[in-house]
Amino acid sequence: MYPTTYRPMKKTLLFLSLLLCSTASYSQSGFELITSDVDLFWQAFDKLKTAPTKEDSVQVLEQEYIQKGSPGVAQFTPSRIRSAAYLQRVISRHPRYYTQLRSHTRKLKMAVPKMQAHYQRLQELYPETNIARVYFVVGALNSGGTIVQDPVVGVDMFGLYPNTPVDELNDWLKAVLKPMEQIDLIVIHEMIHILQKGSKEEDTLLGLSIGEGAADFVAKLAADSHVNEQVHAYGSRHERELWEEFKAQMHGQDYSRWLYNGQNSPDRPADLGYYVGYKICEAYYSKATDKKQAVRDILNIQDYAAFLEQSGYALSFQ
């Protein structure tokens, strides 16, 4: 999943939900955007206003949202929403944020044409692309998306605007929240994770970074925009020193300074492993004469050390 800017998806994925559509889903170009859970959440949210106790609020969220939700909510709950009690606690600590988020979720419908265009471009780049559905849900302010069985996107991570009550947000949320207008970029990133068929046994810093960077790189080809602007801005200014640090650690399994570290990176942007992985994939693609085959290679890496060598990225620092 995309950097912690929407909470990376360590070997999982996620997608989104539309709001205030006349139907609960939007289908075109071979995949369906399922949006019913966003409406369902706001119906439950309204009932919280008349819940007399905390326990009643938990029951409302359990019965009216989690139990009635789509398979997207069911997939998002164990590791993201966690439980009705956890979701209630998060909402109670961010009441004004969730209240203002509601108006911005209405913008999801406007993102549909962009998502359709990205999907069509992805099919051109990689004809094997075939994604059936994407779910959009409201979560607990800890993940922009993940994938268990289907892509699921947490629209609650897309509420950053000038009127956002930032006094309710911790430093991590202030850094990673995005406006709803960028949700299409997260969707394309997560789609690409679905398509990746690389080695599932590679859990080194190198393998995981290339896996995430590959999703970012192919997303850039499809959407012509970076998912992670702040990571690239920092990375471009510190590329050599980042590579030297990364190189010394890349065959190990400690990625605490590089990946999924949004709440523990005070001195530099989180998820810089995404940037290094992106640059390795970019170098590989730039060298290739057959660009379509290069995309296929990037999505089907079996040996990450060999891929790094073939990319020639390390040679650029000699």
Q: Where are the domains of the chain?
A: 4-194, 199-317
Say whether pLDDT at 243 is over 90.
Answer: yes
pLDDT cut 70: percent of the chain above it: 89
pLDDT, residue 31, reads: 72
Instruction: Encode pLDDT of 141-186 as tens digits.
Output: 999 888 888 889 999 999 999 999 999 999 889 988 999 999 999 8
Mean pLDDT across 136-141: 97
pLDDT, residue 190, reads: 83
Instruction: Encode pLDDT of 81-109 as tens digits.
Output: 999 999 999 999 999 999 999 999 989 88
Mean pLDDT across 277-288: 98
Q: Which is higher by pLDDT, 79 or 200?
A: 79
Instruction: Give, as one character, the DSSP assignment of residue 137.
Output: E
Q: Which two tokens stand for residue 98?
A: 């969730």
The CB density around residue 14, as the number of other CB atoms within 10 Å, is: 35
* Cβ-proximal residues to 309 (8 Å cutoff; 6+ apart), any chain: none
Say whether pLDDT at 212 is over 60.
Answer: yes
pLDDT, residue 70, reads: 97
Mean pLDDT across 281-293: 98
Instruction: Give, as one character, the DSSP assignment of residue 201.
Output: T
pLDDT, residue 3, reads: 44
Alpha-helical runs (H) found in the chain:
36-48, 54-61, 71-76, 84-93, 95-105, 108-125, 171-176, 183-195, 205-223, 229-237, 239-249, 272-287, 291-299, 304-311
Instruction: Encode pLDDT of 3-42 as tens digits.
Output: 444 344 444 333 333 333 334 566 555 678 888 999 999 9
Residue 291 identity (one-letter amino acid): K
Whole-number average pLDDT of the chain = 89
pLDDT, residue 12, reads: 39
pLDDT, residue 15, reads: 35
pLDDT, residue 303, reads: 95
Instruction: Encode pLDDT of 248-268 as tens digits.
Output: 999 999 999 999 876 677 788
Distance set, CA 143 to CA 49, 54, 258, 274 (Å): 25, 24, 17, 16
Say whether pLDDT at 315 is over 50.
Answer: yes
Say whether pLDDT at 116 is over 80.
Answer: yes
pLDDT, residue 4, reads: 41
Mean pLDDT across 222-237: 92
Mean pLDDT across 224-252: 95
Least confident of 54-58, 194-198, 206-210: 194-198
Residue 311 in contact with residue 217, Cβ under 8 Å? no
pLDDT cut 90: percent of the chain above it: 70
Q: If pLDDT is split at 50, 70 and 90, which confidence band does 235 have?
A: very high
Q: Which two tokens stand for residue 290?
A: 């057959």
pTM score, whole prediction: 0.79
pLDDT, residue 201, reads: 66
